[in-house]
Amino acid sequence: MQWTLAARAEKMNPSVIREILKVTEKPGIISFAGGLPSPKTFPISAFADACAKVLREDGQAALQYAASEGYGPLREMVAASLPWQVDPAQVLITTGSQQGLDLLAKILIDKGSPILVETPTYLGALQAFTPMEPQVISVASDDDGIDVMDLAMKATLRQAQGERKTARFLYVLPNFQNPTGRTMSEARRAALSAKTAELGLPIIEDNPYGDLWFDAPPPLPLSARNPDGCLYLGSFSKVLAPGLRLGFLVAPKALYPKLLQAKQAADLHSPGFNQRMIAEVMKDGFLDRHVPTIRALYKSQRDAMLAALKREMPEGVSWNTPDGGMFLWARLPAGMRAVELLPKAVEKNVAFVPGAAFYADNADPRTLRLSFVTASVDQINTGVAALAAAIRESQPAAGVRIAETAGAK
């Protein structure tokens, strides 16, 4: 039998991270590679109670086919939890926010459509967008988030050519970004919001980590500033548990019907049983008690990793200090490549994700993503020491470093 693949399937790639995770599944390895929340944070007994109650009191409806929009009380809870005026009718419950990315790719991207992303950006979004064959344009970004001048240049350049090629949207993660852990400053949000409104450029705002702040909540979402110009994605994965595969999107009313049709084609609806369990667990303000425990745990893990990096890393290695979320972004000394370091680190029983995977183009080969949430403090200490040893052993000779520095702009 000769199966012929669609051109779109040819564009699909295995997730680099999943491939790396396979390499790192050797026993005894300390992994800073995964993007998984700490399983210690899963509220198992609350789910056990909710599971029994849902089956006892609402079992038939919970196990039946259901509305594609999602379970009404959960949509209401989502709308009420957001810091701007949201009508529950704008909320679509999705099978993880990853499905939200897939649905919006289907309704917003044609072959060749320009779309704008941060540098670097979430790999899973690139995976969802790529099969629709967009022209992905990376916008320069720094520690405060997206560079608004560069955005304006890249979004409007195409108009100047006389073609109708304004970018379809900007995809952005303002809070504790995956992969860098950085947060967009208030000033940058205000400037971005004003500029995108002026350009008529829609924003896709992805916010799975926003509740996981350490010392102070992040500034208001972009969606709160311009609700009609933004499509917002949220997730229950990082505040409750990813295994239930539930997230949501908040869409401007004009877009909602098309997203709903795409949702129907994808899976009819997200599991009604899981939606009821989450609604049952969340009622009575459970998240207000639960999420602070996640924040405290992750903050202590971040602090342990920062202290270990400071203690162990050789000169020339740099890293940032994320104010929340799960990831820290590091950069190797000149002349080194994270992809080449990885096998040497794995030999020493420690793993990370090379940053190059997260760039749509022009990857910085020296970058790497370190998750600080799944390893214990002891493992963080041992793992960072092992990583530092692998870096020291792999550092190029001084002559090579000088050559690269001289050639660098």
Ligand X SMILES: Cc1ncc(COP(=O)(O)O)c(C=O)c1O
Q: Which residues make up the interface to ligand X (CB under 6 A)?
A: 35, 96-98, 122, 124, 173, 178, 206, 208, 235, 237, 242, 247
Rounded to an integer, what distance in angstroms lies between the CA atom of residue 263 and that of residue 66? 13
Nearer to ligand X, 182 or 348 (CB): 182
CB of 59 to ligand X, least distance (A): 26
Report the residue number, 98 or 119, with the smaller CB distance to ligand X.
Answer: 98
Dihedral of the CA atoms 223, 262, 235, 243 (nearest 10)? 180
Residue 242 beta carbon to ligand X: minimum distance, rounded to whole angstroms = 5
Residue 206 or 211 with smaller CB distance to ligand X = 206
* Helices (H), ranges, 27-71: 44-63
Rounded least distance, CB 330 to ligand X, Å: 18
- Could you tell me which residues are beta bridge partners of residue 205? 172, 232
Largest CA distance in the chain: 72
Locus of tokens 């993660």:
173
Q: What residue number has its CB nearest to ligand X?
A: 96
Nearest distance from residue 95's CB to ligand X, in Å?
8
| Nearest CB to ligand X, comparing residues 233 and 384 | 233
Distance CA 229, CA 227 (A): 5
| CA distances in angstroms from 148 to 5, 140, 169, 187, 189, listed in the order given | 40, 9, 14, 11, 9
CB of 214 to ligand X, least distance (A): 18
DSSP character string of 333-380: PTT--HHHHHHHHHHTTEE-EEGGGG-SSS--TTEEEEE-SSS-HHHH
Query: Which one, 114 or 174, has the nearer CB to ligand X?
Result: 174
C-beta of 237: minimal distance to ligand X in Å?
3
CB of 337 to ligand X, least distance (A): 24
Crossing angle of helices 338-347 and 16-23, in 10° steps, is 30
